[in-house]
Amino acid sequence: MTLAFEYTGWWVSAVKILVATIAVPTGAAIAVYLFLFKLISFMQSRLGPMEAGPHGTLQLVAEVGKWLQKEDLIPDAADKKLFKLPPFIILGSTFLMFVVIPAGPTAVVSSLPAGIFYVLAVSSLSVIGVLIAGWASANKYALLGGIRAAGQLIAYELPMVLAVVGVVIQAGTLNLQEIVYKQSGGEIFGFSGFGSPYVLTQFVGLIVFMVAVQAELGQTPFDMPVAESEVIGGWMVEYSGIRFLVFFLSEFAGAVGFSAIAATLFLGGWALPDAWGIPRGLMHVIGPIVLLTKAMALTGVVFWVRFSMPRLREDQLQRYAWKALIPISLANIALTAILKVVM
């Protein structure tokens, strides 16, 4: 009996990992189609890709096929061993984020007690990949872009962490699944029809978190590390073929991952309000769809800002983090703590 139980537990974990491995690139592909192909086309009053598949749905497949046929170039002066590592370090840190994001009552690879701490820790691993890419390329523009990116990621990691602290104080837990359950119940001003999503009480935290996500992803207006007019292509300038493809997909997978985390922390995650009376068993099916919808809505905001805002200067970028976001986050933590004690 013990051996059978252990085997079953291993098999379930393997299935969860397989599903997560498929879901991450699928979410990235959906984000590329909806936002890079269609949203920007809508904003520019054009149709976008329409030839590859119905309404251009297979355009990304065509793009991937094109990239896979391109030659994988490595500069002669580059550190060849280190040069090959960054795409997989950055992609690995993106995949690791999804390990603790719950998509249903049991649809989570690992429900860690300190899930938020884990997510913030693994998401910062991308800094290592960026620095290695800039250094190993043996290109001064790549090195300058890598240093810029590292400084930006470190600067905006702090307001991201501080934005989450307010949720942790209010929920009283670091476990993402428990945070979801706490938001599905309760009431706001005597009304329980929408549960108690933390966006209503931590709206400032959500704004700070999403701004920090914009900077962590290097999206406009925080794209100084890859500014074409100054550092050509930044730390990715020497990459081509499949390695550049990995960077490209990691960017969109990261956007979906951070948006899913924000949806879990502030919008109730996969759960719907308990007052709606939906059976918990049905949420095994509906939950992933609910989480994907919320995550895609926030991802759309990220790329809407990317296509709408002008690029900041490097000094403005750093000043905004240290003199605006961090003080606002600290004030939000103090207010949340006071209200938690009083109420």
3-class secondary-structure state, position 49 = coil
Q: In this predicted structure, what is the pLDDT of residue 5?
A: 38
Q: In this predicted structure, what is the pLDDT of residue 17?
A: 78
**More confident: 7 or 123:** 123
Local confidence band at 191 (pLDDT 50, 70, 90 cut-offs) = low
Q: In this predicted structure, what is the pLDDT of residue 3?
A: 39
Q: In this predicted structure, what is the pLDDT of residue 141?
A: 86
Q: In this predicted structure, what is the pLDDT of residue 7?
A: 41
**More confident: 104 or 193:** 104
Q: Is residue 200 within 8 Å of 191, Cβ to Cβ?
A: no
Check whether 162 has a pLDDT greater than 60: yes
3-class secondary-structure state, position 188 = strand
Q: In this predicted structure, what is the pLDDT of residue 2?
A: 40
Give me the mean pLDDT over the 311-321 stretch.
Answer: 85
Partners of 191 in the β-ladder? 188
Check whether 325 has a pLDDT greater than 80: yes
CA–CA separation, 101 vs 121, rounded Å? 14
Q: pTM, whole model, 2 decimals?
A: 0.90
Give me the mean pLDDT over the 317-328 stretch.
Answer: 91
The total of other beta-carbon atoms located within 10 Å of residue 139's CB is 21
**More confident: 280 or 212:** 212
Q: Is residue 225 within 8 Å of 146, Cβ to Cβ?
A: yes
How much is the CA Rg of the chain, to the nearest whole Å? 21
CA–CA separation, 90 vs 131, rounded Å? 11
Give me the mean pLDDT over the 10-20 stretch.
Answer: 75
Partners of 188 in the β-ladder? 191
CA–CA separation, 28 vs 247, rounded Å? 12
| Residue found by looking up tokens 């090959």 in the block | 84
Q: In this predicted structure, what is the pLDDT of residue 9?
A: 62
Contacts of residue 189, defined as CB under 8 A and 6 or more positions apart, other chains included, come to none
Q: What is the per-residue pLDDT across 66-100, written as a single tens digit (0 to 9) for each?
A: 888 888 888 888 888 889 899 989 989 998 999 99
Give me the mean pLDDT over the 29-45 stretch.
Answer: 85
Share of the chain above pLDDT 70, in %: 93
Local confidence band at 231 (pLDDT 50, 70, 90 cut-offs) = low
The residue among 294, 214, 312 whose CA lies nearest residue 254 is: 214
Q: In this predicted structure, what is the pLDDT of residue 189?
A: 63
Give me the mean pLDDT over the 211-226 stretch.
Answer: 85
Using the 8-state DSSP alphabet, how is residue 51 labeled?
S
Q: Rounded to 5 degrees, what are φ and ψ at 238?
A: -95, 0
- Write the CA distances from 167 to 66, 161, 258, 260, 303, integer angstroms: 44, 11, 16, 15, 25
Burial of 74 (0-12, 13-18, 19+ CB in 10 A): middle
Q: In this predicted structure, what is the pLDDT of residue 210?
A: 94
Q: What is the per-residue pLDDT across 53-68, written as a single tens digit (0 to 9) for each?
A: 888 888 888 888 888 8
- E strands, the chain, in order: none
3-class secondary-structure state, position 53 = coil
Check whether 295 has a pLDDT greater than 80: yes
| Residue found by looking up tokens 């240290």 in the block | 322
- The residue type of 100 is V
Q: In this predicted structure, what is the pLDDT of residue 279?
A: 82
Give me the mean pLDDT over the 43-51 stretch.
Answer: 84
Q: What is the per-residue pLDDT across 111-130, written as a single tens digit (0 to 9) for each?
A: 889 899 999 999 888 888 88
CA–CA separation, 214 vs 301, rounded Å? 10
Q: Is residue 290 within 8 Å of 271, Cβ to Cβ?
A: yes
Q: Is residue 101 within 8 Å of 264, Cβ to Cβ?
A: yes
